[in-house]
Amino acid sequence: MPDADLHLHTYYSDGTFSPEELVCRARNAGLSTIAVTDHDTLEGCQPAIHVSREQGLECIIGTELTAEYESHEVHLLGYFVDPKNEELKRHLDTFQAVRQKRIYEMVERLNRLNVPLKPESVFQLAQCKSPGRPHVARALVKEGLCNNLDEAFERYLKQHRPAWVPKFKIHAVEAIELIHDAGGIAIMAHPGLNRNDALIPPLIRGGLDGLECYHSKHNKTAAEKYFSMTRFYGVLATGGSDCHGLSKGRPLLGTVRIPDSLVQALKDQWQRRRNDTSASAPPFPTSTLAS
Ligand code: AMP
Ligand code: FE
Ligand code: FE
Ligand code: ZN
C-alpha cells in the first residue's frame, strides 16, 4: 500500500494537530513518509522531524506559499528548503507579519458590522505566527458569535463577504525562485483547485518542478490528467491529503497516499539540484586563504 502523505498542516498554521500528534496519527495510519507543509512557516517541521525519528517515520520539511500568477491564486509547496536560508527566513517573517496585521483588519471589519470580536480572542486561539481566516472563524464560534465555522465563512469571511480581507500574495515565479534559492523543490499544490490549467506551462517554464497530482479534492479523472501532464512535461508528480486536523470534520491524514517511487523521484531531483548548485558555484579563492 502506498504510504506517503506529503501535504499536512499542524497548529503552527491552520491545522489543529500538534506536530507530535500528527506524527503519532501518521504512524497509526501506517504511513512511513510525511511532509509538514504549513502556510508561510516552517515552525512545525523540526518538532515533527524529531518525533518522526523516534517513531521510525521519515518527515520531509516543507511549507505552502500563497502566490499569484496573472491574477490567479496558486499555492506552491516548497519541499526540502533550508530553514537557515536568510532570504527565505526574511520572506516568511514578512508573510507572517502581514497575516497578523490581516487578523486586526478582519476583526476591525467585524466590529464595524457590530460583531464584538476582540483581536486577542483570535490570537489566544491561534498561538502561532501564521494565523488566518480559520482562526477568526474558530474565535467567532468560541465567543458564541457564530454557530459553526461554515456560518462564519458564509456570513463574514469568504471571498467578497463583508469581513474578508485579501491575502498578500508573492508572484509565483518569485516564489519558485525563493524555494530554489533555499535549496528546495517547488511543486504546485492542488492544481485542480485553480480551475485554470493554462497557468501550468508558463510556470513550468518559470522553474516549477512538479504538480501535486493526488489531493483530497482531486477526483480520479483530475489526478490522472495531472499525472499525464507531469509525464508530458517531464516534471515531478506528488500527492498529499492537505489534512488540517479536526477543523474540517474527519482528519484527512493518510486518505491520499503516494508510492515510494514518487517520493524517491522528489528526493533525486533535490539531490541533483544540490549537486548542480555546488558544481556551478565559483571556486573558493584559496589564494586569499594563503595570504
Ligand atoms: P487564509 O489563508 O487565511 O485565507 O485561510 C484559508 C484557509 O481557510 C484554508 O485552509 C481553507 O481551507 C480555509 N477555508 C476557506 N474557506 C472555508 C470554509 N468555507 N469553511 C472552512 N474553512 C475554509
Ligand atoms: Fe490551510
Ligand atoms: Fe492550499
Ligand atoms: Zn494546504
What are the pLDDT digits (tens) for 193-213? 999 999 999 999 999 999 999
Distance from the CA of 37 to the center of ligand 4, in angstroms? 7
Distance from the CA of 280 to the center of ligand 2, in angstroms? 37
Please identify, by atom number, the ligand 1 atom nearest to the C-alpha of residue 131: 3
- Using 70 as the pLDDT threshold, list the residues of the chain that sit under it: 1, 279-291
E runs forming strands in the chain: 4-8, 33-39, 58-69, 72-79, 170-171, 185-188, 210-215, 236-240
Distance from the CA of 212 to the center of ligand 4, in angstroms? 11
Residues with CB under 5 A from ligand 3 (ion): 75, 189
Sign of CA dihedral 140, 145, 150, 153: negative
> What was the pLDDT predicted at 29?
96
State the number of CA atoms in the 13 A half-sphere of 93 facing the CB.
8
Grid coordinates given for 263: 517520493
Q: What is the pLDDT of residues 101-154, one digit of tens each?
A: 999 999 999 999 999 999 999 999 998 999 999 999 999 999 999 999 999 999
> What was the pLDDT predicted at 86?
98
> What was the pLDDT predicted at 284?
60
In whole angstroms, what is the distance from residue 24 CA to residue 228 CA?
34
Q: What is the mean pLDDT of the chain?
A: 94
> What was the pLDDT predicted at 291?
37
- Residue of minimum CA distance from atom 3 in ligand 1: 132
Work out the number of other CB atoms within 10 angstroms of the CB of residue 10: 28
> What was the pLDDT predicted at 281?
61
In whole angstroms, what is the distance from residue 133 CA to residue 59 CA?
27
**Could you tell me if 59 and 46 are in contact, meaning their C-beta atoms sit under 8 angstroms apart?**
no
Q: How many residues does the chain have?
A: 291
Distance from the CA of 29 to the center of ligand 1, in angstroms? 25
Give the CA angle between residues 74, 48, 100 to the nearest 5°.
50
Please identify, by atom number, the ligand 1 atom nearest to the C-alpha of residue 136: 3
> What was the pLDDT predicted at 249?
76
For ligand 1, residues with CB inside 6 Å are: 14, 39, 132-134, 149-150, 153, 158, 167, 244
> What was the pLDDT predicted at 290?
43
